[in-house]
Chains A and B, each alone.
Chain A
Amino acid sequence: MTTRLLEVKHVTKRFGGLAAVSSINMAIDRGELVGLIGPNGAGKTTVFNLLTGVYVPTEGTIHFDGRLMNRCKPYQIVRAGMARTFQNIRLFRQLTARDNVKVAAQLRCRCGLISSLCRTPRSLANDRQVNQIADELLDVMNLQDVADARAGDLAYGLQRRLEIARALATRPRLLLLDEPAAGMNPQEKVDLMALIQKIRRDFDLTVLLIEHDMKLVMGICERIYVLDYGQIIAEGAPSRIRRDPRVIKAYLGEEYGDVESDTGTGFSVRTEV
């Protein structure tokens, strides 16, 4: 068994004449925690959508665990072991937090339509099992108190955590997190960092995350890809990325500031200026 979990080769996605992502290469090994950063509009979410089957690549190949995933439907990719969260949270808002997780947990349980319609012992046993999986995950994500609240009514930070819980319920091997810290306050971000590290350890996960918060990215990622105008412009350990002139140029423009001395969130703040 190779250690390579995800391999993206020369993947291009064009919308009409616009190449949102052009000829990118990425390789992620089992157990890694990799970051994907880049200025707004660089194509980060497009990469996620390509990986998860929302878009079909115009060119190139995506291998997950040795299997070619190019033409797979999103649900097939999830079943193969790749789960994601969304930048703009997409929960099932009218359902309870527990039911949100149960939708995902049901995936790993074998119980058919007829059995459910007839309410056979098998379907009841399945329901109990799914319930249990959901409750365990809600516990892990510290959401047990709001298990019966409607997902749409939860506070923002809780919704983000619930989305991760839902993704975990599909029992992924690779977890894709699209800006998990967006809209969180500094304390929540610190907690989130710890949480990501914890679930990665406990669930034996490989994680790829998109994030704007440099403190978070630099803090937890072992390796970082930098995307700009649809192309990977740099790749490597956080310390190298921080010094890479192309990255500095993409974020800050040329001849601007001493990035090395910047250790905090200032990096991302200044890009907004």
Chain B
Amino acid sequence: MRFWVNRLLGVTGALALLYAISVWATENLQEYYFKVIILCGIYIILAVSLNLVNGITGQFSIGHGGFYAVGAYVGAAWTVLWQPEAARALPLLQLNTLHGHIVNLLIALMLGAFAAGCTGFLVGLPSLRLRGDYLAIVTLGFGEVIRVVLLNIDAVGGARGLIGIPSLVQSGNLGFFWVFLFVVLLIAISRNLLQSSYGLAFLAVREDEVAADATGVNTTRVKVTAFVLAAVFAGIAGVLYAHFFINISPDTFDMNTSIIITTMVVLGGSGSITGSVLAATFLTAMPELLRDFKEYRMVIFSTLLILIMLTRPQGLFGHGELGYATFQRLIRSGRGKTL
């Protein structure tokens, strides 16, 4: 009982803090920087969720853009195509009030996450029998299939994409709140998984699938679980993107996007949540910082990547994490030195 009271207090506190930051950030930051921060948040969700598959479970997937797209399009399809119909029957769903916005955003989030999760299940179940390069090719192909399919559905605008999606995320100055709510949620979930003995099964699959099998781990189930979980969060990221940046087109979710997300995971260190977060932030913010050197941007970008891969092939963090425990250790060793 006491546990649940503490948990409730903690969650409420976190929500309040997020809301406060959100209001402050909207009012005090320049719009440009604010948008970069939101974009960073969205890419953190994508990278950390892909890390569940690539890093923690050790299955090399490079089609995360596909789930991102499914989430974005299904979520946007609700607000643009289906919501007006539904609102006629149910006044609660009308978009003229803040709570109408929130309700619709939540519905879009649920639909997007559900659709992406189902896609993840359908793609994952057959393709996770494959290993290494083969899985990478299948997932890459899947990402492209999604893009081409979207390109050919006229109802969602075809190549032009869906434009003028209601900006549900930002209404009520809640943009930062929504995006980082899911960032925090995903990081918490990943951390809990990594620290629980249940989560060890995922690491076991990464280390040695045959041995995991022989230890009683249902490897197929573990892999599909990781895949679906990652897809759900990619779908959420997609819905958030669509309802913040209000225009989406199939090109938003092309192969480059998938590869950038994979790069974030590898660069940060496969399996490290901290690594994924920092790499996602870095790789999203850096192209913006380098805008003045537009012509050389990609050169600098790729040189940096090559340098990191040469000097630290396991990624910035390897399997390590930067968390509360690390700080405790640092403080302790710091004290040891001064004494």
Which residues of A come within 8 Å of B, CB atoms? Answer: 52, 54, 73-75, 78-79, 83-84, 86, 90-95, 99, 102-107, 109, 111-113, 115-119, 121, 123, 126-127, 130-131, 166-167, 170
Contacts and interface: CB of A to CB of B under 8 A. Distances in A.
A112 B198 CA distance: 8
Nearest to B221: A75
Nearest to B318: A94
Contacts of A107: 215-217
Given A52-B214, A83-B214, A103 B193 contact: no
A90 B211 contact: yes
B143 to A, nearest CB: 26
B328 interface: no
A79 B189 contact: no
Nearest to B215: A104
B35 interface: no
A99 B200 contact: yes
Contacts of B197: 102-103, 105-106, 109, 111, 126-127, 130-131
Given A54-B213, A92-B203, A119-B192, 11 more contacts: A74-B213, A90-B208, A92-B212, A95-B204, A102-B200, A103-B204, A104-B216, A107-B215, A107-B217, A116-B198, A130-B197
Contacts of A102: 197, 200
B180 to A, nearest CB: 19
Contact of B207 (A73, A92, A109, A167): A92
Interface in B208-242: 208, 210-219, 225
A107 B216 CA distance: 6
B141 interface: no
B198 A91 contact: no
A123 B203 CA distance: 18
Nearest to A171: B216
A75 B217 contact: yes
Contacts of B216: 75, 78-79, 83, 104, 107, 170
B296 interface: no
Q: In this complex, which of B3, B213, B216, B225 has the most chain A Cβ atoms within 10 angstroms of its Cβ?
A: B216
B215 A95 contact: no
B196 interface: yes
B201 interface: yes
Contacts of B210: 54, 86, 90
Given A117-B192, A127-B196, A103 B214 contact: no
Contacts of B225: 113
Contacts of B192: 116-119, 123
B257 to A, nearest CB: 27
Interface residues of B, number: 27
B297 interface: no
B312 to A, nearest CB: 17
Given A75-B219, A170-B216, A86 B198 contact: no
A91 B215 CA distance: 10
Nearest to A53: B213
A103 B319 contact: no
15 contacts: A52-B214, A75-B216, A75-B218, A75-B219, A79-B216, A86-B210, A86-B214, A90-B211, A94-B207, A95-B203, A106-B197, A119-B196, A127-B196, A170-B215, A170-B216
B199 interface: yes
A166 B215 contact: yes
**Top 9 closest pairs, chain A to chain B, by CB:** A92-B207, A78-B216, A116-B198, A90-B211, A74-B213, A116-B196, A107-B216, A130-B197, A103-B204
Nearest to A94: B207
A111 B198 contact: yes
Which of B192, B197, B211 counts the most A-chain CB atoms under 10 A from its CB? B197
A90 B217 CA distance: 14
Contacts of B193: 116-117
Contacts of A118: 192
Contacts of B214: 52, 54, 74, 78, 83-84, 86, 90
A150 to B, nearest CB: 10
A117 B188 CA distance: 8
Contacts of A119: 192, 195-196
Select the residue from A91, A99, A112, A117 with max chain B CB neighbours within 10 A.
A117
Given A99-B200, A121-B3, A123-B196, A78 B211 contact: no
Interface in B165-217: 189, 192-193, 195-201, 203-204, 207-208, 210-217
B196 to A, nearest CB: 4
B207 A93 contact: yes
Contacts of A130: 197
A118 B200 CA distance: 16
Contacts of A166: 215
Contacts of A99: 200, 203
A92 B217 contact: no
User: By CB atoms of chain B within 10 A, which of A113, A130, A167 has the most?
Assistant: A113
